[in-house]
Chain A
Amino acid sequence: AQKVTQAQTEISVVEKEDVTLDCVYETRDTTYYLFWYKQPPSGELVFLIRRNSFDEQNEISGRYSWNFQKSTSSFNFTITASQVVDSAVYFCALSGGDTGGFKTIFGAGTRLFVKA
């Protein structure tokens, strides 16, 4: 079975601090897809990034960066110089593969508070 674990329930930082959100996943499939979504207080799910299991290159997009390590089954997300607008719940998710099919399995989410 597929599973996504986000051990950090809540994180609180002060503006301009860097923060890393952890994500560990479990799957028996060799082909799978990992995602990060942001859910602001308004409730919608905002897509941030998709990574397939064959691409371990780290990615940077502005203040966001992602570290994918298959050896540890982790897909961590770092926000550099955090801002108050980054306050939201962040979900790591897993999809695809022979057993997972096309549905998306979400982690429990990490609530990030960024204080001014």
Chain B
Amino acid sequence: AAGVIQSPRHLIKEKRETATLKCYPIPRHDTVYWYQQGPGQDPQFLISFYEKMQSDKGSIPDRFSAQQFSDYHSELNMSSLELGDSALYFCASSLRETLPGYGYTFGSGTRLTVV
């Protein structure tokens, strides 16, 4: 079965650079969620989109922005990168009409290292 695809798997950037992470949800899933997991931390919710509109917002820095496109894939854009942005970034997708948590699938994550 198709899973949530995240690219790239690994990314190394320098401070103050910009990074773009991509997430391709499971086919027919209309909702995408982004999470940030710092070293030794639990995943923290950043932002979610349903039908290309932002549906919920968590602890996402102002330097970060995200959007969901017409094909439902999503991109997380991070500017003015800081060392503290080094983390594992997870994307998850689901079908909104299903019960919360059902069919909720995480991608394998993108490991961002800022040097």
Contacts and interface: CB of A to CB of B under 8 A. Distances in A.
Contacts of B111: 43
Interface of A: 32-33, 35, 37, 43-45, 47, 50, 52, 91, 95-97, 100-109
Contacts of A50: 101-102
Nearest to A51: B101
B48 interface: yes
B99 A52 contact: yes
21 contacts: A32-B100, A33-B102, A43-B88, A43-B111, A44-B106, A44-B108, A45-B109, A47-B105, A52-B99, A91-B42, A91-B43, A96-B100, A101-B55, A102-B48, A102-B96, A102-B100, A102-B101, A104-B43, A104-B101, A106-B44, A109-B42
Question: Chain B, interface size: which category?
Answer: 20 to 34
A100 B101 CA distance: 11
Contacts of B106: 37, 44-45, 47
Interface of B: 31, 33, 35, 41-45, 48, 55-56, 58, 88, 90, 92, 94, 96, 99-102, 104-106, 108-109, 111
Contacts of A45: 43, 90, 106, 109
Given A101-B56, A102-B33, 13 more contacts: A32-B100, A33-B99, A33-B100, A33-B101, A33-B102, A45-B43, A45-B90, A45-B109, A50-B101, A102-B31, A103-B33, A108-B41, A108-B42
